[in-house]
Structure 1
């Protein structure tokens, strides 16, 4: 039995509703699934509310937060969080405010460059609390400026391109502390997704994050090679932290990534979920 502890819904930049995600998970026979939308917990009510329909699936309430590390950002997953925690919602609200301010700037930049796009249609497409660059990319593709969303990012929206704008982000230690106050575990998401994926660099960042209270690392991810997964499992053992894994499923916004299986080879064992529960129980006892 396999699991998926990294997914996105229409509450952020996914294209499946929280309940649709659960239906997909059931169809694939997953034993556990986490909903980890960007900077919002607004989908967790629907997600957890459907638990009775899927008694064979362990539901993990989560969130994905971007944090600042020097001149770039990294992503931290909060797993097993209490979505009603006031300090968590306060931080997420501040992050969303920064996200919305950046979206306004991106829209203005794109308009000045001649693209037919406005912030109103971006917000309308997003629907939820967290419009973001994937929604800009989707509109640009639909209007024929680019063939794929990836091309829109590579040529226009990613860091260093003409449509990119920075946003204010919390520091790693602050985000990890808030996740802990919400009763959750803090996991470094897709650590091999950056420009420098050498063991030395990843180990250096991981040492810093563990010093801030990081609980685990996402060792299983669709775009990792088997060698990268082995490297991350070894680093988790070195630093005495847990491992997690998931597809980063976004629906049609990432057409080559399927729930549970990623590109077809992802297989996160159920034992990963069981070990995370043990880690969480130890933290509660202590």
Structure 2
């Protein structure tokens, strides 16, 4: 059966997240999503029971060279042992040790690793449709070209930091709704990332401001204000 899954979602457990997991589940139901990955920043949290929407255990690790998604984890990552800002290879190793798939998140928004460096790392997939990366012209297209060149599957995720953003980009599968089936389909490349405009850009701007207000510097807060202004302008101009 064909189904849609958002493979990159943050709850309020992340410093810049604004919605509970329960609110994310309700938003997923409203958008006819069969599954979502709860991938909070540098932490693994227990997930509630969810009979209507499959919750995929995940994480987004802030490595020394960009963000790396861990999907389909069968146990929590030991962040005390992994440490802050681990090398990408260490982050990938930790994800694989916990039964997960390592996905390079939004590789060109911003650029943190060269394409040559990426090619030498054991990623299982590359995020080629990220709703926030849609704000950077060409970022998702470059990610698609990179994945094709490396013969890796592409994934789609909203990178939502609130329920309104959910479903901004998704991954289409043709399989049963189960962790094992989705994981196998992704590993074999039997999935298709899809870009969708699910909400106004301003909500992405709010999330950015929240993160920098909580843990940013003066410079990063100024940049976040610029980002927010750009989001507002995009909504006004409808671009």
Mapped pair 1:51 → 2:50: yes
Displacement of 1:58 in angstroms is: 3.0
1:66 equivalent to 2:62? Answer: yes
Contact 1:191 1:202 in 2 (8 A): no
> Is the CA contact 2:153–2:188 (under 8 Å) kept in the aligned structure 1?
no
CA distance in 1, matches of 2:27, 2:123: 30
> Aligned partners of 1:184, 1:281: CA distance in 2, in Å?
15
Gaps of 5+ in 1: 99-167
Counterpart CA distance in 2 for 1:245 and 1:267 is 4
> Which of residues 249, 271, 275 is equivalent to 2:160?
249
Query: Residue 183 of structure 1 aligns to a residue in which SS?
Result: coil
Q: Would you say how many aligned residue pairs link Structure 1 and Structure 2?
A: 180
| 2:100 equivalent among 181, 184, 204 | 184
Partner of 2:91: 175
Decide whether the 8 Å contact of 1:80 with 1:184 is kept in 2: yes
Check if 1:215 corresponds to 2:124: yes
Q: Which residue of 1 aligns with 2:34?
A: 31
SS at match of 2:22: helix
CA deviation vs aligned residue, 1:50-101 (integer Å, no higher than 9, x gap): 222x1xx3321100101113xxxx00000001234xxx22xx1356xx7xxx
Q: TM-score normalized by structure 1? A: 0.55
CA distance, structure 2, for counterparts of residue 258 and residue 68 of structure 1 = 27
Q: Contact 2:7–2:170 (CA<8 Å) still a contact in 1? A: no
TM-score, structure 2 length as denominator?
0.65
CA shift digits 1:20-56 (9 cap, x unpaired): 21111111111221000011112xx2x3x3222x1xx
Aligned to 2:146, which of 235, 238, 242? 235
- Tell me if the contact between 2:57 and 2:74 (Cα under 8 Å) persists in the aligned partners: yes
Deviation at 1:227, TM superposition (A): 4.3
Relative to structure 1, the CA distance from residue 173 to residue 245 in structure 2 (aligned partners, 3 Å threshold; closer, same or farther) is same
Q: Say if 2:124 and 2:187, in contact at 8 Å, map to a contact too.
A: no
Task: Report which of the two has the higher share of strand.
Answer: 2
Unaligned runs of 5+ in 2: 190-239
In structure 2, the CA distance between the partners of 1:239 and 1:275, relative to structure 1 (3 Å rule), is: farther
